[in-house]
Amino acid sequence: MTMPSWKKYVVPSALFLLCALAQAAAPDSSLAARLAAFDGWVASRMAMERMPGMTIGFTRGDVEWVQGYGYADLENQVPATAVSSYRLASVTKPMTAVAILQLVEQGKVDLDAPVQTYVPYFPVKPFPITVRLLLGHLAGIDAYRDHKTEQHFKEHKTTRESITVFEYFDLIAEPGTRYRYTSYGYNLLGAVIENATGESYGGYMQRHVWGPLGMTATMMDDPAAVIAHRVRGYGLEGRELKNSEFVDVSSRFSAGGTRSTVPDMLAFGKGIHDGKLLSPASLALMQESMVTRAGRLSDYGMGWETYPTGGRYVISHSGQQPETATYLFSFPSRKLTIAVASNLERVNTAAFAERLFEVVTGEAWELKPYIAHANAQLYGQLAKGLFDEGRAQLEKTGQPYTGDPAVTQLAFDQINLQALKQDDARAASLFIAAARHPAGGRVLLTAGSSMAARLRQAGFDLDQYANSGPLAFVRDYIVLSQAAPAGGTPRFDPAFEQAMLKLGASWDRTAAVAWPAQPSSVAQLSKQLETAFRDQLVYPDFMAEINELAQTSSGRGDSVQALALARLAVALYPLSDRAQALHGILLMSAGDSAASIAALRLALDRDPQGAASATALNNAAYRLKAGGAVAAGTALLQAAIQLHPDVANLHDTLGSFYVEQGLRAQAVQAYQQALRLDPAYPGADGARAVIARLNNAH
């Protein structure tokens, strides 16, 4: 049989294999050319990330494209292909959520019933745990506590044994009050499916979810089974690739215990778009963010992350576990799904999916303008909130959030009074952050979607703002509102309007400046960007690119270039917490502790919840350790504790770093301090177990 010209196999030296399902249409010639150019970007990115193999693809309407890059098995030089079989990890969760909602539609499960209705052996807790709250990670169920045990099971576990792992954990919060992402909650949902149907989880999924969508390569991960095209998993120790540790993921069965291919992931996304598995009402419920009792969005619906990005309506889910990293993006109103899977642990697969989105749609994933004046940074925050919430609402429903002019006017009045005429900049920023939540009246959604609807009515193409961004969106609305009859269109504060017109004009001059494809040197890069951005009010934020280049330089041992890039970041973006934090982290890696802490303090002052927050520095320390810089990671944790002395988790992480270095006494002290600060912090039980193990080792 002769293959169509758009299907091709290239020998492993070119590091890719293109394959697509026979019934899918081919990309048109223009898209095919862009996809060919995408190959070069992927090869460069994979080399930088030290990725062995990856498969990525999309489906839009009747067009489907899937391609493998690199190797599914390095040792035997087996290429990654469209049919390579990867662990799905947490991309399993939206599939489990679909199964639960099917059973709700059939009357076999009640979303608001206590979980013990279906899993009677699960211990009753001080507060009722409902199926609905489990779906949204709002049930108070904790995640892993003793990581050294719970994330390294070698033996197969039954459903009952999987529940036993965590069934006596205390709740971390009253259900409904706190979002806590946890695979254990989704294990309980798997048990609900089994007890409500009398079938095994895998059996039900094959008959009612995977099978109806033709997902023939999707199955429970079984280390003993012979599975066609199974990839071998890898991790990085420093810059050296190692075979992944074997972990039996049956303990995560309905939360992350499956294996599949990218075409099957795409089939699942298409099945969601086409309504093949659930009613429209259930689909809407699944894709709507849940809300805490305090009225805050969790940005997670039922099995899907729901945060609007770049002003577009998108749902997604990532997956990370030994042997794999996955991501599934769904754009329901566009009938577009993008899926990616890699056999390298902890790699940023989202970056590949985002780039493919740009190739397929011609839209920027997310524009990030940097505003160079502190007193105008608040305006950028407001513009982004209005754009993200407003344009996404129009893309999702085609209509503004409310048709009541009085409610819309009230939203504008609140923005004007509490953000734009507020003397306290921190209070204004907090108002804007809260204004997207129900407790804040959904002010940004109300005003932003009204703006989008009025622009569309006036003939503006809302799609254009993907490539011009929030500043252009707000600027165009201001121009439109100023030309409208008095009282007919809600207006912003005049000072804000004037500032936004100036910012918009500056953005028109700088937005087209692109990050160079092949920066030849830091000096040349500095000259190019500083010249382009000199005396401008706003210009593109290339912090992600600078950070990536700096981390790559640091990873290969070029600390001089890494620090030079960090200094460039601070020179271009002095008001950015990310720039100051990058400088601080790289100074710590270079051994300059005092300068590092000073830079981190600046970052913390820029944004207390940003790149120098306790969580961000904790994650940065783990990245240093993963790159082989355990000592630098330890020093960074010690600095983080100076900045955040009362955060138990930092002391806990420091304890784990000390354990890895054989410093038992220091490890015990760190864990004990974590427990003194918070005896019930999420890792408390694990800390007690480690302390007992270390004390018994003497």
Average pLDDT of the residues in 131-135? 98
Within a domain: 74:
no
* Phi, psi angle pair for 313, to nearest 5°: -85, 110
Cβ atoms within 10 A of the Cβ of 421, count?
12
Q: Are residues 530 and 413 in the same domain?
A: no
Q: Are residues 269 and 193 in the same domain?
A: yes
pLDDT of residue 10: 32
Cβ atoms within 10 A of the Cβ of 238, count?
15
Mean pLDDT taken over the chain: 93
Within a domain: 452:
yes
Q: Is 190 helix (H, G, I), strand (E, B) or coil?
A: helix
Within a domain: 568:
yes
Average pLDDT of the residues in 214-232? 97
242-291: per-residue pLDDT in tens?
999 999 999 999 999 999 999 999 999 999 999 999 999 999 999 999 99
Q: Is 230 helix (H, G, I), strand (E, B) or coil?
A: strand
608-654: per-residue pLDDT in tens?
999 999 999 999 998 888 778 899 999 999 999 999 999 999 999 99
pLDDT of residue 289: 98
Within a domain: 322:
yes
Q: Are residues 422 and 495 in the same domain?
A: yes
1-55: per-residue pLDDT in tens?
222 222 232 333 333 334 444 457 888 889 999 999 999 999 989 998 899 999 9
Q: Are residues 342 and 476 in the same domain?
A: no
The CATH number linked to 270 is: 3.40.710.10
Within a domain: 262:
yes
pLDDT of residue 23: 55
pLDDT of residue 186: 98
pLDDT of residue 2: 27
**Residue 698's pLDDT band (boundaries 50, 70, 90)?**
low
Task: Name the domain boundary from 510, 537, 556.
Answer: 510
| Full DSSP string of 267-288 | HHHHHHHTTSSS-HHHHHHHTS
Q: Are residues 325 and 424 in the same domain?
A: no
* Number of Cα atoms under 13 Å in the Cβ half of residue 237: 4
Q: Regarding predicted confidence, which is higher, 187 or 8?
A: 187
How much is the CA Rg of the chain, to the nearest whole Å? 26
Q: Are residues 356 and 416 in the same domain?
A: no
Nearest Cα residue to 146 out of 693, 686, 689, 688: 686
Tokens for 369? 């303008």
Q: Give the C-alpha separation, 202 to 265, whole Å.
A: 16
pTM given for the model:
0.90
Q: Give percent above pLDDT 70 in the chain.
A: 96
pLDDT of residue 488: 82
The CATH number linked to 548 is: 1.25.40.10
Q: Classify residue 561 by its DSSP letter.
A: H
Nearest Cα residue to 647 out of 670, 620, 624: 670
Q: Please state the domain count of the chain.
A: 3
Q: Are residues 464 and 588 in the same domain?
A: no
CA dihedral 186, 192, 197, 200 (to 10 degrees): 50
Task: Name the domain boundary from 510, 542, 568.
Answer: 510
pLDDT of residue 487: 80
Give all strands (DSSP E) within 84-224, no chain letters: 86-87, 219-220
Q: Are residues 345 and 438 in the same domain?
A: no
Within a domain: 442:
yes
What are the angstrom distances between the C-alpha of 430 and each of 377, 378, 418, 492? 13, 10, 10, 19
Q: Are residues 381 and 345 in the same domain?
A: no
* Phi, psi angle pair for 529, to nearest 5°: -75, -40
Q: Are residues 252 and 277 in the same domain?
A: yes
Q: Are residues 296 and 336 in the same domain?
A: yes
Within a domain: 395:
yes
| Full DSSP string of 243-276 | EPPP--GGGGHHHH-EEE-HHHHHHHHHHHHTTS
Q: Give percent above pLDDT 90 in the chain.
A: 85
Task: Name the domain boundary from 361, 393, 410.
Answer: 361
pLDDT of residue 623: 85
372-393: per-residue pLDDT in tens?
999 899 999 999 999 999 999 9
Q: Are residues 438 and 340 in the same domain?
A: no
What are the angstrom distances between the C-alpha of 393 and each of 14, 365, 444, 452, 468? 43, 17, 11, 9, 18
pLDDT at 686 over 60: yes
The domain in which residue 596 lies consists of 526-696
| Cβ 153 vs Cβ 162: under 8 Å | no
Within a domain: 492:
yes
